[in-house]
Structure 1
Amino acid sequence: MPFIWDRALRKENDLEDKNLSAALQLADGDGRWQALLRPPLRNRTKIFLDEGSQLHVMCPDLYRATLSGSINRVNQLLGLAEDMTDTNDESHDVKVLLQDTPEMNSSNKQWGGRIHGDGLCTLREITAEKNTVLHIAIEQEHADLVEQLIRKDNTLLTSQNSRHETPLHLAARAGNHCIISLIVFLAQESGIGAYEVLTKRSTSGDTILHEAARYGHDDAVRVLMTVAPALSAEVNYASMSPLYLAVARKSLGAVKALLQYSDTSAVGPNQQNALHAAVLASQDMTSMLLDWNAELAYKRDASGSTPLHYAASNGDVTLVKIILDKVPLTVYIRDEEGSSPLHVAARMHHYSSITPMIDHCPDSFELRDNQGRNFLHIVAQHSGRETNLNRRELKKLVSMIRLVSQSHDMKKLVNERDNDGNTPLHLASMNGFSETILQFLQASKADSMLVNNEGKTALDHAISLRSFFLMVGTTATLSAYGAIFSPQRQDKLKSWKDEAAKWIDRTSKNLLIVSVLIATIAFSVTFNVPGSYSGDGVANLNSRIQYNIFLVLDTIAMSASVSATMLLVAAKAVSKRSTWIGFSLSLILVWISLFTIQLAFVMAVYVAGSDKTVTKYIISSISVTFFVSTVAIIRDISTPATLWTRMKFLSSTRKQTQTTRQIDVQFPNLTSYVRGSNLFIYLNLFFYIITVAILWTVPFYEKRSGH
């Protein structure tokens, strides 16, 4: 036992806290407190609230005085002289009765009237939530008032509010380590004993160490780990240890203090431990916990996930390497769905985390989940441009697929089949990931003719896609690289016509609104031309070149939008093939009208705006920037595949094969759309050249002509 006290005293010396030192000196021979310096407390019992029939309320003046920390005012309200020691007179209780009493007269008839006997407040008064004056003083960190209140009535030390929190709970929550050590000293000095105040639990099962750790108060945790390190082995009723709370709070100092005790618990909710939380919080904490107890890395939470699963989902490669350096075999642990950390990293697009895992455990790439899928299946299922991968992630995806395809042992993953017979290429096709499909076909030489357990090839799955753009990209990419359909009766084929009709119908409604709106704007502009009209009805600026360009552009916008409107309306009343033709043409016409109405606006600003050439060039630059950026974005989201893939697809359709014939049956107008997408790119390139020519040469011409 002397060894335990010596260790506590040595730790106290580091803190240089005189109250803590005095408390430890008084503790010699206190058997109950000694239990807190030894291994964990046992046989805990839950605390149940025992609500009385009366609701106690604190005198407002006493509450305000305690809140402000005014010792003189508190003494005045309590009627306490310096030599008064008897403060436990029950007759001075202040109560708010739940019912009116006969003693109430008309002058004080209010809810629950206040009864004071001799008119003084008492130390027994509590707030609506049963906080005593000591609770309030500690919460406001009035150390001098705290000491006086305890010396006047030491029973306040063990008082509990409605949540069974003692004043020491509130001191730990506030993080005032000086008040904590003061309370411990006064509790031991008064005869109540430090054990009584250190071991109380709230209704949530929280000890004072839980409170200090939850709020990340490093100094408070260090003090408590000096006087009661066994508390670190306790968990609350939510199965959370102080260490887990400190890690979740990202309090490095508190974690260091807690890890000094070998019996500290690392338990967290849902069968997690502190390392599960650490890998999402800090590399330093992760290293500290692994050095303290590397076995934590093998523990699984309620879903079967280890800390490495969490790290793989977060994508911090350095953190993954820290775990692997200590416990590399955790790569092989799978969760309840059979997913290894490799599967998790692939699902979250953290491809950089996959490489170190395979480097540490070379055969881990063979791991399959409960559906028989390797990590490359997961890459195919969850990766691609359509899943909002940015360019950087897309490059990592390409590198990952190339790494697999170039590896002598891993290249077999490309054509490996899961429990349903699907290869990674099947899964990529099911989800319409044309970028991933292209990488599998180009880099990995994936076998596009393999059938799954349903007898379907990757190309067969394109028919199940509901998005028009995904369907086009998937079909064009697969067929461009020689993919085939499975053998089927041609008259039993399911066509994408119905889905196409729904898509055209939805899009046509929006196009019709836009085209009518542009026509209305272009028509109204002719009556409100730049510079207005003269008295004889002639435009004032009709001699300016910009004005004439403005009229031409406005006419084009008006004509194109009207034509688009007519095509959209007429297409509804004719055949489905005519509907597609009308839709395609109207889409181009609406785009032309949008372009020309924008350019017409710039010309109007030119002719009626500032006379400074610099200003006009700035206007030109703004217009060109917005136009080019918008076109780039639209091209990126609407073009079905790369230019080379589209050209290769169009070349393959010139040959009459079973695949091209079936494409015509199942995906009518697919070839027309691919040609149209190419036309869209060339058309916008032409628009770009025209825009630059007009916006940059007109001001120069105007300057030379003297206008």
Structure 2
Amino acid sequence: MMVPENRDFFEEGDEEESYGTVESMDPELYRATTEGDILEFARAMDHTTLDRVIYRTSACCVQLGPQKNTVLHIATSSGHYEIVKLLCNDLPFLVAEKNSKGDTPLHIAARAGDWSLVSLLTSCDSGEGVLLLENDEGNTALHEALGHRQQQVARILIDRNPNASYWANKKGKSVLYLAAEAGFSALVKLLMENPAGNCGVEGRFRSKSPVHAAILGKNIDVLRILWEKDQSSFHLRFDEEGTNALHFSANIGFLEGVHFLLCNFWGIAYQRNKYGHFPIHTAASKGDVDIIQGMLLHCPDSRELLTLEGQNILHVTAKSGNDKAVSSMLKMPELEKLLNEKDGDGNTPLHVATIYRHPRIVSALTWDERVNLELGNNNGLTALDIAEEYMETLASFQKRLTWMALRVAGAPRSLHTNVSKNTKTSGAGRKSKLENYKDKINVLLLVAALVAAATFTVGFSVPGGYNNSNPDQGMATMLAKVKFQEFVICDTVAMYSAIIVTVTLIWAQLGDLSSMQVALNLAVPLLAIALAMMSIAFMAGVYLVVSKIRWLGNVILVMGFAVVIVLAALFVPLCFLGSSSHRIFRWVSYFPFCLLLHAFGSYTERDELED
């Protein structure tokens, strides 16, 4: 085919190249090809060709579109069988022509899954070698068919040349890998019986393991076929991290694959990856209890396997933050010996959960009576010591919840905690901590002053006003009402609490670090009481003036009590939380903790990323 007539306007290497002109196809020919009008196509071909001999001798005379598509590419992508058949008969050399992406028409037909066009193109007289032609991604037509899950087309291509050798593509995927990934067990079996079709492992590109593909697709039938035909492939590592088949199955949660591998190749459970993790540690990091139980069933001593850091599976699960998995593992009697086991740094699973700030896991562990809360690590620190170490500066809510879980459980401090803290708080660290406390004090002082001023003002502006006549002149008009008495008492308590907080914090600013800490421990609970009492006083006062409308009064009461409950829940982590091993006290303390955990637990992952 000729190029458009306007091509003669430029000389070779002239303005056409400098201005970036691209090739284009005759409009009538392009339109007829895409629409499938065979009569218009034949007429357009006659108008745009010189001689069919030219097509066989000079490829530059073939008309190409902007993406270097020939008419056969276009007809194939449009699915026009009659035009493709005409071109294959008259111009068979077009079957091997490539476009800008290196695709032949056979690549396009295979990708689309058009088995009739695939059969036609492969039966072309000059198409014997087209099966092995690769595009820019290193894919043959068979690669494309398998990669796009076109099983029927793939079978046609294999049957057309069963002894063909297919290299792995540029991503390292052989035809066997793609067939396994797609789950085409019949094709996998066919390719395994013809080793030539699985060429590429030792060729240009190192081929990925088909076992990896079968596991990725979670196809147990393919996995069985691969085991029957080539067990040596199961010994291969999948990547530079040393991941084996069992690591990968555990990582993606392929339980059926885990059982198959352990039944046939149980020794794989005792292979480490690059990071020193055994497959059971991979399952633990994902929190997959079913896979952990399956591994323990086949390899019961795998519970004793440790990472390079000396951590067992309970350490790894606690580190991952999966509280449901930890709760399930606590119910497994065979793991009881792991509860208080220490890693290389002397940390128990409780220490690890505290370090990584997982309050749900800390709570689950502390409620288990078998967990020893008094154990220290190599530095002599208990879990509570570690939690309080993180509380030295402005702590995130997640850290505070972790600390709270330990305090609720009555977790003890180590005997040397005070000594170590006094040693640490010196120099620049002591100065930073002092500034941090001053900032907290200033904020609390401002809030306390506002509460005192507001409650003082309200105390002389009571609901209903005052009597102006004798003998009760100057007395409140609603003095006999219970809600008014409640209003007066709560307002008074709020004001006096705020005044005490203000005076306490003023003294704190004049003292040292220890006095500041004592003042804060006293001021925060008192401020919480002041705010709660002020809220109740407001509720009682509003109720008095709207109580004639019963439903409105009830709404005010419900809203008021709800606010008080929320205030109590929010202030519990900020206030001193006493610890006790007594069961009743723990249940009472556990209620606000659970409320906070459910309210803010979804934000723990975000806090971890920010930290």
> TM range, normalised to the smaller chain?
0.5 to 0.7
The C-alpha deviation readout for 1:547-593, integer Å capped at 9, x for no partner, is 97998899998998898789778855654345435544554466567
The C-alpha deviation readout for 1:646-690, integer Å capped at 9, x for no partner, is 213999xxxxxxxxxxxxxxxxxxxxxx99x959959x99xxxxx
Match of 2:146 among 213, 230, 235: 213
The equivalences for 1:497-508 within 5 A come to: 498=430
Displacement, 1:272?
A: 4.6
* Contact preservation (8 Å) 2:296, 2:303: yes
The equivalences for 1:346-365 within 5 A come to: 346-365=284-303
Change (3 A) 1:461 1:432: farther
- For 1:519 and 1:92, how far apart are their aligned partners in 2? 100
- For 1:86 and 1:199, how far apart are their aligned partners in 2? 30
Q: Which residue of 1 aligns with 2:174?
A: 241
TM-score normalized with structure 1 length:
0.59
Match of 2:334 among 372, 390, 403: 403
* Contact preservation (8 Å) 1:416, 1:423: yes
The equivalences for 1:290-305 within 5 A come to: 292-293=228-229, 294-301=231-238, 302-305=240-243
Identify the range of structure 1 (508-517 vs 142-151) with the bigger mean alpha-carbon deviation: 508-517
What's the secondary structure of 2:580's corresponding residue?
Answer: helix
Match of 1:174 among 112, 136, 161: 112
Letter in 1 for 2:149: G
* Contact preservation (8 Å) 2:289, 2:328: yes
* Contact preservation (8 Å) 1:56, 1:94: no
Letter in 2 for 1:404: L
* Contact preservation (8 Å) 1:476, 1:640: no
Displacement, 1:235?
A: 0.7
Q: Which residue of 2 aligns with 1:260?
A: 190
Displacement, 1:61?
A: 4.5
TM-score normalized with structure 2 length:
0.67
Q: Which residue of 2 aligns with 1:69?
A: 36
Letter in 2 for 1:174: A
Change (3 A) 1:444 1:353: farther
Please state if 1:393 is matched with 2:325: yes
**Percent identity of the aligned residues?**
26
Letter in 2 for 1:70: D
Change (3 A) 1:679 1:210: closer
Change (3 A) 1:490 1:420: closer
* Contact preservation (8 Å) 2:354, 2:387: no
- For 2:32 and 2:445, how far apart are their aligned partners in 1? 73
Identify the range of structure 1 (52-61 vs 307-316) with the bigger mean alpha-carbon deviation: 52-61
- For 1:610 and 1:92, how far apart are their aligned partners in 2? 102
Change (3 A) 1:149 1:215: same
Change (3 A) 1:557 1:629: closer
What's the secondary structure of 2:139's corresponding residue?
Answer: coil
* Contact preservation (8 Å) 1:426, 1:461: no
- For 1:232 and 1:598, how far apart are their aligned partners in 2? 81
Match of 1:308 among 233, 246, 263: 246
Identify the range of structure 1 (211-220 vs 459-468) with the bigger mean alpha-carbon deviation: 459-468
Change (3 A) 1:372 1:74: same
Letter in 2 for 1:399: K
Displacement, 1:222?
A: 2.5
Displacement, 1:180?
A: 0.9
The equivalences for 1:624-643 within 5 A come to: none
Change (3 A) 1:231 1:421: farther
Larger RCO: Structure 1 or Structure 2 (Cα < 8 Å, ≥ 6 residues apart)?
1
* Contact preservation (8 Å) 1:516, 1:565: yes
- For 1:76 and 1:590, how far apart are their aligned partners in 2? 93
- For 2:46 and 2:485, how far apart are their aligned partners in 1? 94
- For 2:571 and 2:165, how far apart are their aligned partners in 1? 58
Please state if 1:224 is matched with 2:154: no
Letter in 2 for 1:172: A
The C-alpha deviation readout for 1:623-642, integer Å capped at 9, x for no partner, is 8779868976886x87999x
Superposed CA RMSD? 5.7
Please state if 1:142 is matched with 2:91: no
* Contact preservation (8 Å) 1:343, 1:375: yes
* Contact preservation (8 Å) 2:185, 2:222: no
The equivalences for 1:226-625 within 5 A come to: 226-230=159-163, 233-246=166-179, 248=181, 251-252=182-183, 254-262=184-192, 263=195, 265=198, 272-284=208-220, 287-288=223-224, 292-293=228-229, 294-301=231-238, 302-380=240-318, 382=319, 387=321, 389-390=322-323, 392-400=324-332, 402-405=333-336, 411=337, 418=343, 427=352, 430-431=355-356, 435-436=361-362, 439=365, 444=370, 452=378, 456=380, 458=382, 462=386, 465-467=389-391, 469=400, 472=403, 476=407, 480=411, 485=416, 493-495=423-425, 498=430, 574-581=511-518, 583-584=520-521, 587-588=524-525, 591=528
Displacement, 1:209?
A: 1.4
Displacement, 1:480?
A: 3.9
What's the secondary structure of 1:358's corresponding residue?
Answer: helix
* Contact preservation (8 Å) 2:176, 2:198: yes
Change (3 A) 1:558 1:490: closer
Match of 1:184 among 122, 143, 148: 122
Q: Which residue of 1 aligns with 2:135?
A: 202
Q: Which residue of 2 aligns with 1:535?
A: none
Structure 2 portions without partners, runs of 5+: 1-16, 393-399, 464-477, 597-611
Displacement, 1:304?
A: 0.9
Q: How many residues align?
A: 540
- For 1:609 and 1:132, how far apart are their aligned partners in 2? 85
* Contact preservation (8 Å) 2:200, 2:206: no
Displacement, 1:174?
A: 1.6
Change (3 A) 1:276 1:618: farther
Change (3 A) 1:595 1:135: farther
